[in-house]
Amino acid sequence: MLVNTLALLRMAERGEFAIGAFNVYNLEGALAVVQAAEAAASPVMLQIMGGSTKRVGRPLAALCLEAASSASMPMAVHLDHCSSRDEIEGWLEAGLKSVMADGSDLDYEANVEFTRDIAKTVHYNDGVVEAELGRLTGEEDGLTIPDYESKLTDPARAADFVERTGADVLDVCIGNVHGRYRSDPRLDFERLEAIERTVTAPLALHGGSGLDDDSVRRCIELGVRKINVNTELRTAYVRSLAESVSAGDQPEFVDVMDRAVAAMRDVVAGKLRLFGSSGG
């Protein structure tokens, strides 16, 4: 069943678990997430990457909305990382009610202004806004300590940012990165704890692929209620396709797709168990 993103996150707060937010790019990805969630009796989020308007646009939005609406478990559909007002408005017109307004590459005041402006539009459409304070990079290596720390969420500004922007969900940067970690992740749990004490909005953590299980559990204990997973799903999909093609004989196309769904479904199922949402 299709539900409001905040309803899912409040459910996670009450149950002290995290909602898995999985990026999908096609029907197979959506099927994998829905099937895993239903098998685990878990709420979940389907995410569409910002910037994909020209490639997929409304058809992918319609696909995800229908998949969530038809599912037996509570599900939300969310637009991930979008820094374009025009694109966000387009996705709202396509039926999405949950978006991430990403102004993290702007300076603080510009980020506040951008996020506040988007929040007004999204709230007018009865939607939910996630925003990022700090700057999540694609890797953590090659940065000086001051440069690295400057990208992390400032606990002293977190409450001010949420209050001034009207953001409903805050994406925190505590040493997590997008994509694969090139060295052992160095998550700043003290920073996360300080943020959680000052902010009433649910916290989101991006870069969930590649974090060790203990770090994930600790983040959930400290208030993270939404965890994004993208890279591991894509890797499972591509690896499954490569194995099907390299098997030798011309594979039956439907079988190829079914195996890809199964590979991604296994990843989702493992994350739902780790996040503590299974059976909830």
Q: Is 80 a catalytic residue?
A: yes
Q: Structure tokens of 69?
A: 């609406």
6, 238 in Cβ contact below 8 A?
no
**Residue 36: both structure tokens together:** 């895993």
DSSP secondary structure letters along 131-199: EEES---S--TT--HHHHHHTS--HHHHHHHHHHH--SEEEE-SS--SS--SS-----HHHHHHHHHH-
Nearest-angstrom CA–CA distance, 93 and 86: 11
Cα separation, 118 vs 129, in Å, equals 8
Nearest to 127 by CA among 83, 160, 94: 94
CA distance 30 to 57: 15
Nearest to 239 by CA among 262, 218, 213: 262
Query: H or E stretch including 202?
Result: none
Q: 80, 102, 171, 188: which one is catalytic? A: 80
With 0-12 CB in 10 A as exposed, 13-18 as middle and 19+ as buried, what is 213? exposed
Q: How far is CA 253 from CA 53, 56, 124, 258, 265, in A?
A: 27, 22, 44, 9, 18
Residues catalogued as catalytic? 80
